[in-house]
Amino acid sequence: MNQQAGGKILLRMENISKSFPGVKALDKVSLQVKAGTVHALMGENGAGKSTLMKCLFGIYNKDEGHIYLEDREVDFKSSREALDNGVAMVHQELNQALKRSVMDNIWLGRYPKISKFIPLVSEKKMYADTMKVFQELDIHVNPKAIMSTMPVSHRQMVEIAKAVSFNAKVIVFDEPTSSLTEQEVEHLFRIINMLRDRGCGIIYISHKMEEILRISDEVTIMRDGQWVATEPAKELTMNQIIRLMVGRELTNRFPPKAHDVVDEIVLKVEGLTAMYSSLRDVSFALKKGEVLGIAGLDGSGRTELLENIFGSATRKHGKIYKGSKLIHNRSPQESIANGLSMVTEERRATGIFSILDVRSNTVISCLKKCRSDRFFFLSNRKMQEKTQWSVNRMRIKTPSLATKIRSLSGGNQQKVIIGRWLLTEPEIFLMDEPTRGIDVGAKYEIYQIIIDMAKEGKSVIMVSSEMPELLGVCDRILVMSNGRLAGEVTATATTQEEIMTLAAKYV
Ligand X SMILES: Nc1ncnc2c1ncn2[C@@H]1O[C@H](COP(=O)(O)OP(=O)(O)OP(=O)(O)O)[C@@H](O)[C@H]1O
Piece in contact with ligand X (CB under 6 A), picked from 47-55, 73-81, 133-141, 291-299: 47-55
CA angle 469, 473, 477 (to 5 degrees): 85
Q: Is 225 in the site for Mg ion (CB under 5 A)?
A: no
Q: Is 58 in the site for Mg ion (CB under 5 A)?
A: no
Question: Site residues for ligand X, window 76-115 (CB under 6 A)?
Answer: 92
Q: How far is the CB of 48 from ligand X (least distance, A)?
A: 4
- If you write DSSP's letter for every residue of 31-88 in order, what string do you get? EEEETTEEEEEE-STTSSHHHHHHHHTTSS--SEEEEEETTEEE--SSHHHHHHTTEE
d(Cα 363, Cα 381) in Å, to the nearest integer?
A: 12
The residues near 184 (Cβ < 8 Å, ≥ 6 apart) are: 153, 157, 177, 298
The residues near 225 (Cβ < 8 Å, ≥ 6 apart) are: 23, 24, 25, 26, 27, 29, 47, 48, 51
Q: Is 277 in the site for ligand X (CB under 6 A)?
A: no
Piece in contact with ligand X (CB under 6 A), picked from 44-52, 78-86, 365-373, 384-392: 44-52
Q: Is 23 in the site for ligand X (CB under 6 A)?
A: yes
In whole angstroms, how far apart are CA 136 and each of 100, 190, 191, 392?
Answer: 23, 11, 9, 48
Which residue, 165 or 206, has its beta carbon nearer to ligand X?
206
Which residue, 290 or 345, has its beta carbon nearer to Mg ion?
345
Q: How far is the CB of 384 from ligand X (least distance, A)?
A: 20
Residue 34 has φ and ψ, to the nearest 5°, of -90, 155
Piece in contact with ligand X (CB under 6 A), picked from 49-57, 245-253, 290-298, 466-474: 49-57
Q: Which DSSP letter does residue 374 get?
A: S
- Say which entry of ligand X, Mg ion, none residue 329 contacts (CB below 5 to 8 A, set by partner kind): none
Q: Is 50 in the site for Mg ion (CB under 5 A)?
A: yes
Number of residues counted as binding ligand X (CB under 6 A): 19
Question: Site residues for Mg ion, window 85-144 (CB under 5 A)?
Answer: 92
Q: Amino acid identity, residue 397?
A: K
d(Cα 500, Cα 471) in Å, to the nearest integer?
A: 13
**Cross-strand partners of 38:** 202
Q: Is 440 in the site for ligand X (CB under 6 A)?
A: no
Q: Is 408 in the site for ligand X (CB under 6 A)?
A: yes
Q: Which of 36, 48, 289, 410 binds Mg ion (CB under 5 A)?
A: 410
Which residue, 16 or 102, has its beta carbon nearer to ligand X?
16
Piece in contact with ligand X (CB under 6 A), picked from 46-54, 109-117, 348-356, 494-502: 46-54
Q: Which of 18, 17, 28, 25 is nearest to 43 (CA)?
A: 25
Piece in contact with ligand X (CB under 6 A), picked from 320-328, 375-383, 405-413, 468-476: 405-413
**Cross-strand partners of 87:** 170
The binding track of 24-43 with respect to ligand X, each residue x by CB under 6 A or -, is -x-----------------x
Residues contributing to the site for ligand X (CB under 6 A) = 20, 23, 25, 43, 45-51, 92, 397, 407-412
